[in-house]
């Protein structure tokens, strides 16, 4: 999947991403990085809004799993089941979230459940970075339901 196609898909299907100014900064075989400008994600203290940090982390994990499924020829519905976030430092500039693609072992177990039962569960993590520093850590569980 190309970066432009993924960004278009995200903006069309997750309208919040357009308002946040989400841009794909990097997509490799190993990870996906999405970034946003601080100016569109401010709180009353002029730092990044916690909801924006959590949203970007969630979206980055979701998009990483989505791309991984598409690369494998799968098109299930993908939703988040649960998540947690640790906020480590205030964010005072533009920021990004990075998520690694699943390992082959994790992918295999995920797809096995999806194929056998029509539902697969997968955990994903993301970190929020600003100026080279990890400012927040996200953990989520996502569910894919086969069509």
How would you class 129 by CB atoms within 10 Å of its CB: exposed for 0-12, middle for 13-18, buried for 19 or more?
middle
* In a domain? residue 145: no
Task: Give percent above pLDDT 70 in the chain.
Answer: 99
**Which carries the bigger pLDDT value, residue 1 or residue 35?**
35
Strand order in the sheet with 31-36: 23-27, 31-36, 95-100, 119-130, 133-145, 77-87
* In a domain? residue 38: yes
Question: Given the structure tokens 């080279």, which residue do they identify?
Answer: 132
CATH assignment at residue 25: 3.10.129.10
Range of the domain at 41: 3-74+83-102+123-136
Rounded Cα distance, 25 and 10, in Å: 14
* In a domain? residue 110: no
* In a domain? residue 96: yes
- E strands, the chain, where? 23-27, 31-36, 77-87, 95-100, 119-130, 133-145
pLDDT per residue over 23-49, tens digit each? 999 999 999 999 999 999 999 999 999
pLDDT, residue 147, reads 62
* Domain count within the chain: 1
């Amino acid at each position: 999947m190309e970066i432009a196609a993924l960004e278009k898909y995200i903006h069309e299907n997750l309208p919040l991403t357009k308002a946040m100014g989400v841009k794909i900064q990097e997509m490799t075989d190993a990870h996906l990085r999405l970034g946003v400008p601080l100016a569109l994600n401010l709180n009353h203290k002029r730092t990044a809004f916690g909801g924006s940090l959590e949203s970007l982390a969630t979206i980055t994990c979701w998009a990483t799993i989505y791309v991984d499924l598409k690369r494998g020829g799968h098109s299930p519905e993908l939703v988040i089941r649960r998540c947690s976030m640790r906020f480590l430092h205030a964010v005072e500039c533009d920021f990004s979230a990075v998520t690694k693609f699943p390992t082959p072992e994790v992918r295999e177990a995920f797809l096995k459940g999806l194929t056998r039962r029509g539902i697969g569960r997968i955990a994903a993590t993301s970190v929020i970075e600003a100026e080279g520093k990890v400012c927040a850590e996200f953990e989520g569980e996502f569910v894919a339901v086969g069509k």
